[in-house]
């Protein structure tokens, strides 16, 4: 479990995160949702250590990530997998080299072991016979799958995904959501996903945190989200026509 306590972050005197508390549970997709510019990505970056919070703690299974020593932080970093917005594959590396990259950097596995692990992960995300393809030769949905394979290649305990559906059609988005959900349960990872896709909330939002202007206004499950009693959340949830009819 990841626990965050009173996370605050300002840029140039402007308070972006105003003291966020919450938990992210293992074996579940934990979603951070909210309108554009509300601080979702900044919160994610504070949790994974890409930004240092001005105040507050981030605990990974009780281990203090924000104030722990360098060694403890490195240890936790090794247990983190990330799926970045837009997949962020290296254009000059082929699929196999992209997925292998974390193993080259973080492990001393032999070449054979690395290839075996890469092939296992590619197979797990439904990709076969694409090892030598370049990112420019595969579709957006396939790139996401490669990104997921790379994120799980070093067997992370914690998986973070920033807008995993950006740039995908609704059908492919659903397939990618299902894949992330499946592997989360299979490997009992604590998966945290930043999204503003209501379809994802309905499909995989087993735990949802709603941010509004740098504050957490609500958390709960996708089952409760349509009757939260929070006006700002209602406006967000029922912003599209399909959801209005659902109401
Ligand atoms: N490195 C930075 N320096 C200064 N301001 C920043 C920085 N990163 C983010 N911000 C500001 O923090 C605010 C929240 O940004 P953030 O990217 O977290 O929003 P978001 O909720 O993820 O939005 P979106 O859904 O559009 O990605 C924005 O006003 C943004 O300009």
Q: What is the pLDDT of residues 132-157, one digit of tens each?
A: 999 999 998 899 999 999 999 999 99
pLDDT of residue 166: 87
Tell how far the Cα of 12 is from the centroid of ligand 1, in angstroms: 12
Tell how far the Cα of 11 is from the centroid of ligand 1, in angstroms: 9
Question: Considering only 11-15, 71-75, 222-226, which range has the smallest mean pLDDT?
Answer: 71-75
Would you say the pTM of this structure is higher than 0.90? yes
For 170-178, the CB contacts below 8 A with 24+ separation are 170/199, 172/140, 172/141, 172/144, 173/197, 173/199, 173/200, 174/199, 174/203, 175/141, 176/141, 176/144, 176/145, 176/148, 177/203, 177/204, 178/203, 178/204
Per-residue pLDDT tens for 86-126? Answer: 778 999 999 999 999 999 998 999 999 999 999 999 999 99
What's the mean pLDDT when you consider all of the chain?
Answer: 92
> Which residue, 44, 19, 18, 45, is CA-closest to 31?
44
Tell how far the Cα of 215 is from the centroid of ligand 1, in angstroms: 14
Pocket test for ligand 1, best of 10, 33, 41 (most atoms within 8 A of CB): 41
pLDDT of residue 46: 96
> Is there a contact between 195 and 164 (Cβ–Cβ < 8 Å)?
yes
d(C-alpha 208, C-alpha 163), whole Å = 14
Q: Which atom of ligand 1 is nearest to the CA of 85?
A: 27
Lining residues, ligand 1, CB within 6 Å: 11, 16, 34, 36-42, 196
> Is there a contact between 32 and 54 (Cβ–Cβ < 8 Å)?
no
Strands (E), 168-229: 190-194, 207-212, 215-220
Tell how far the Cα of 123 is from the centroid of ligand 1, in angstroms: 35
pLDDT of residue 244: 64
């Amino acid at each position: 479990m990841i626990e965050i306590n009173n996370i605050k972050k300002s840029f140039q005197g402007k308070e972006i995160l105003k003291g966020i508390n919450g938990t992210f549970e293992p074996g579940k997709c934990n979603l951070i949702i909210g309108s554009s510019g509300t601080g979702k990505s900044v919160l994610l970056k504070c949790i994974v250590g890409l930004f240092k919070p001005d105040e507050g703690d981030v605990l990974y299974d009780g281990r203090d990530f924000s104030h722990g020593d360098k060694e403890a932080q490195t240890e936790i970093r090794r247990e983190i997998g990330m799926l970045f917005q837009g997949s962020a594959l290296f254009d000059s590396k082929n699929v196999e080299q992209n997925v292998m990259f974390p193993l080259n950097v973080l492990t001393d596995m032999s070449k054979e072991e690395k290839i075996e692990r890469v092939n296992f992960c590619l197979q797990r995300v439904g990709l076969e016979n694409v090892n030598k393809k370049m990112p420019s030769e595969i579709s957006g949905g396939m790139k996401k799958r490669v990104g997921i394979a790379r994120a799980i290649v070093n067997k992370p305990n914690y998986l973070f995904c920033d807008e995993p559906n950006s740039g995908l059609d609704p059908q492919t988005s659903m397939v990618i959501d299902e894949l992330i959900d499946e592997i989360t349960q299979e490997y009992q990872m604590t998966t945290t996903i930043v999204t503003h896709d209501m379809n994802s909330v309905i499909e995989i939002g087993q735990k949802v945190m709603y941010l509004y202007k740098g504050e957490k206004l609500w958390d709960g499950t996708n089952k409760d989200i349509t009757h939260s009693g929070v006006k700002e959340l209602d406006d967000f949830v029922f912003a599209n026509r399909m959801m209005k009819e659902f109401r």
